[in-house]
């Protein structure tokens, strides 16, 4: 027993109790600190997760502008020197551009050249599925009928599109909500026709022939589908 009459065991127990209480207080403070940190992090993340994420197909190329911010002035779409620059066509192109804010003449012509090549390749190979997607009913039926007649005769085509020399606007108009643009394609094509036995009965792959075609493409400017379809074919 010490000088104050307290047993040594009681002193040890008291020290342990104080130590335990101190640890509990420290752990409680640490837990409170971690809780505040987690709340701040998760709270900020929840705010971000609640933000509306635009769909990938929504038109959002330019950031939103304030109401009083100056808006870019859209340049008028005009025909080029190589196009058929008659007043009616100029007016038609401007009307289409006014009805379809996403219309771009140069972009359209590049797409038209791509469609020209795809449609020719599909016709030569007898790929009706691709033709069905790129042409309207009348043009598709014409292509499909020619493919059926060729297959019935046992003939095959080994044609190649060498190059597209030029693609220019021949006519343009907006009929209600239907945009219609005729394009003159000037291309070099090597054409060979073989019979059922594989013999060449027409053409040659060594000599490319200049082809001039006027194809008319149409599109509903009010539709969400941005693709144009082949509506008519003619010789240039």
Domain spans in the chain, listed from the N-terminal domain onward: 1-51, 87-235
pLDDT higher than 60, residue 2:
no
Above 60 in pLDDT, residue 209? yes
CATH of range 87-235; options 3.10.450.240, 3.40.50.80, 3.40.190.10, 3.20.20.10:
3.10.450.240
d(CA 164, CA 114): 10
Least confident of 35-49, 56-70, 192-206, 208-222: 35-49
> Which is more confidently placed, 143 or 64?
143
- What pLDDT is attached to residue 81? 77
Q: What is the pTM of this model?
A: 0.68
Give the model confidence (pLDDT) of 149-202 as tens digits. Answer: 999 999 999 999 999 999 999 999 999 999 999 999 999 999 999 999 999 999
- The span from the CA of 192 to the CA of 27, in Å, is 87
Q: Check pLDDT > 90 for residue 30.
A: no
The predicted structure's pLDDT at residue 82: 82
CA dihedral 115, 120, 126, 129 (to 10 degrees): 10
What's the full length of the chain, in residues?
Answer: 236
Stretch 213-234: mean pLDDT: 96
User: What confidence category does residue 23 fall into, taking pLDDT thresholds of 50, 70 and 90?
Assistant: low
R_g of the chain computed on alpha carbons: 37
What are the tens digits of pLDDT across the range 119-159? 999 999 999 999 999 999 999 999 999 999 999 999 999 99
Higher pLDDT, 12 or 234: 234
Q: What is the pLDDT of residue 22?
A: 66
The Cβ of residue 34 has, within 10 Å, a number of other Cβ atoms equal to 10
pLDDT value of residue 207: 87
Sort 230 into a burial class: Cβ within 10 Å, 0-12 / 13-18 / 19+: buried
Per the model's pLDDT, the better-predicted residue between 87 and 176 turns out to be 176
Residue 84: per-residue pLDDT: 86
How far apart CA 172 and CA 178 sit, in angstroms, is: 11
Average of pLDDT values for 63-86? 66
Average pLDDT over all residues of the chain? 80
Residue pair 120/190 in contact by the 8 Å Cβ criterion: no
pLDDT at position 24 over 90: no
């Amino acid at each position: 027993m010490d000088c104050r009459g307290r047993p040594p065991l009681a002193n040890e127990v008291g020290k342990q109790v104080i130590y335990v209480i101190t640890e509990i207080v420290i752990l409680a403070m640490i837990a409170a600190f971690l809780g505040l940190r987690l709340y701040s992090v998760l709270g900020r993340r929840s705010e971000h997760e609640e933000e509306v994420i635009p769909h990938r197909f929504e038109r959002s190329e330019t950031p939103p502008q304030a109401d009083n911010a100056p808006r870019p002035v859209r340049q008028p779409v005009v025909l080029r020197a190589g196009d058929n620059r008659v007043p009616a066509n100029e007016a038609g192109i401007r009307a289409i551009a006014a009805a379809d804010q996403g219309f771009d003449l140069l972009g359209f012509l590049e797409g038209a050249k791509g469609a020209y090549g795809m449609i020719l390749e599909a016709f030569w190979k007898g790929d009706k599925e691709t033709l069905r997607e790129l042409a309207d009913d009348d043009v598709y039926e014409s292509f499909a009928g020619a493919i059926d007649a060729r297959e019935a005769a046992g003939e095959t085509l080994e044609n190649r599109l060498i190059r597209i020399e030029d693609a220019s606007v021949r006519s343009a108009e907006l009929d209600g909500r239907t945009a219609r643009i005729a394009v003159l394609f000037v291309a070099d094509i090597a054409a060979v026709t073989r019979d059922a036995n594989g013999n060449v009965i027409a053409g040659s792959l060594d000599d490319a022939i200049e082809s001039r075609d006027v194809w008319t493409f149409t599109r509903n400017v009010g539709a969400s589908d941005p693709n144009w379809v082949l509506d008519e074919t003619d010789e240039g």
